[in-house]
Structure formats: C-alpha cells, structure tokens
Amino acid sequence: MAKQLSEDQKNRLFIQDLNKMHDPHPGQMDIGRAIFVEKKRLIFAKCGRKFGKSWIARYASYRKSGTQSKLPTYIILPVLKQAKEIYWAGRQLQDFIHPRWIEHIDNSQCRITLWNKSFIKLDGSDNTEMHRGPECGFFVGDEMKDFDIRLWPAMLPNLLVLRGQALFLGTPPDNDIEPSALQYIRLSEECESESDCFLAKYPSSMNPKVPQDLLKKIRDRLIANGEEDVWLREYMAEFVKAGHKLIFPMFDETKHVFSYEDIMRELKY
C-alpha cells in the first residue's frame, strides 16, 4: 500500500478491494444500503436459513472498520464456541479481505486489527460481563433469538459515545414466551416503529446460490408432515406463534372448526 496516499484515498481503495472480492445479492445490498447510505441506527433483518447473513455480517464489519480509524467492531453470536465454528475455524472472517489491509490476527482473542488501528472482535453473548464498558462503533448480533438476554442491555450504552450502529440478524424464534425470544420480538418492534431504524424480512429464496428446486422439496415435505410453521419460520423468516407444537397440528381452524349450532344441526339430521 502506497504510504503517500491520504487516509481518504486509502478508504476508497479499501472499499474497491472489498467489492472486487465479493458480490452481494439484492437482499444483502438492501441491508448494506440501510447501514452505509441511510446510516440507520438499528438495522434488524429477519433472515431465512442460508440467506447469507454471515456474509453481510462480515462485509458490514470490514467496511465499517476498514474506513473509520480506531473503530471497535464486535460480531456476537449466542456462544463463543458457535462463533468460532462459523466465522473463525474455516477462516471465513480472517480471509474476507486482502491480507495487506490486516495488521494483526490474534487467534486466542479472535480479534483482527486492521491497517487503521480499527479492530473486529468475535465473541459470544455468554461473555456478557466482558462487554460492560468498552466503546463500540459497530455491533453485529447474529441469531439474536438465542442470546443471553443480559448482553444487549450491557452493549447498548457502549454504542453511545461513538454513535455506533447495530445490525441484528437471524431467524425468528418459535415462541413469544422465553426471555430471549421476547427480546428478539421487542427489538424488531422497536426497529419497525422508529424512523432512524430499519426492519426487513428476507426469505431463503433471495439467495441465488440456494437451489430453488430443493427449497420446494423441503417446503412440500415439511407441510406434508404438519410442520408448515417450520417452513415459514426457518425459510420464510416469518414469526409463527405455535405451529406444529399445537396438540393437533394437522387441524386447520378455517377448515375443521365449526360453531356449536352447526354441529348440533348436523347431529340432529
């Protein structure tokens, strides 16, 4: 990298390098627009399985950190072991950008320091106490429905000083009872109601790399097994309150439920 380049020139070169290496699909571009163009404070994306949420998490984290000096970025998953398996073990995070932009990789801390002294750190929501205090410029919450509910209240104040942004990603929960599920629902409702926030839903089918014929087979099988709620939640990114956990999931209220008067009339005749 030429030392005579200004920081602004290096930032533009960094983005060019990043975009040369990666080709987002329309849904990912939509989320990126909310972050980088509209500059929303909170971005909440309900995503079907294999939509490509870990890609947008990596892209957004690198673009934010690689163009703002000394910016602390955190990618958080429910537990650190899961975070390492998805992002670190296969070098999905470390190799996302050309190595000339990386100053140091700390494998023990799962931390990547970039050319401009910004860093990206991977962690689990189970490490809540560690996140009380440090400033944060960009936060990614991946699979928020399974988070330790103490994490977000601990992280939120850390975003204030740097006017940081937060990106929430993941499939909807299967209930509205568990504390982590309630937190997911409340955050999505906040993002829907506030003008400086962004909320959107992206089914699995938006990813062009996902075979549509196989998606159809999965849908048909799940529906035939009385698990349409699984299809709607996991692949269509829709919240379904009860679904196949009902006592008689094969019964449809619109087809199999009748009024007392109609039943008595049938019995009479």
Identify the CA nearest to 66 among candidates 109, 7, 111.
7
Confidence check: pLDDT of 139 > 70: yes
Sequence-ordered strand ranges (E) for the chain: 42-47, 72-77, 102-106, 111-114, 119-124, 138-142, 165-170, 197-202
Give the C-alpha separation, 197 to 153, whole Å.
Answer: 18
- Give the pTM: 0.87
Give the C-alpha separation, 36 to 13, whole Å.
Answer: 16
CA 124, distance to chain mean position in Å, is 14
**DSSP bridge partners of 170:** 46
Output the pLDDT for position 259. Answer: 74
Residue 27, H or E segment: helix 26-36
Q: Mean of the pLDDT values across residues 243-268?
A: 62
The amino acid sitting at 97 is I
Q: Mean of the pLDDT values across residues 158-180?
A: 96
Output the pLDDT for position 209. Answer: 95
Residue 170, H or E segment: strand 165-170
Residues counted in the chain: 269
Output the pLDDT for position 247. Answer: 47
Give the C-alpha separation, 65 to 11, whole Å.
Answer: 10
Output the pLDDT for position 252. Answer: 57
Confidence check: pLDDT of 86 > 50: yes
pLDDT band at 145 (very low <50, low <70, confident <90, very high): very high
Confidence check: pLDDT of 251 > 70: no
Weakest-pLDDT range from 128-137, 146-155, 170-179, 250-259: 250-259
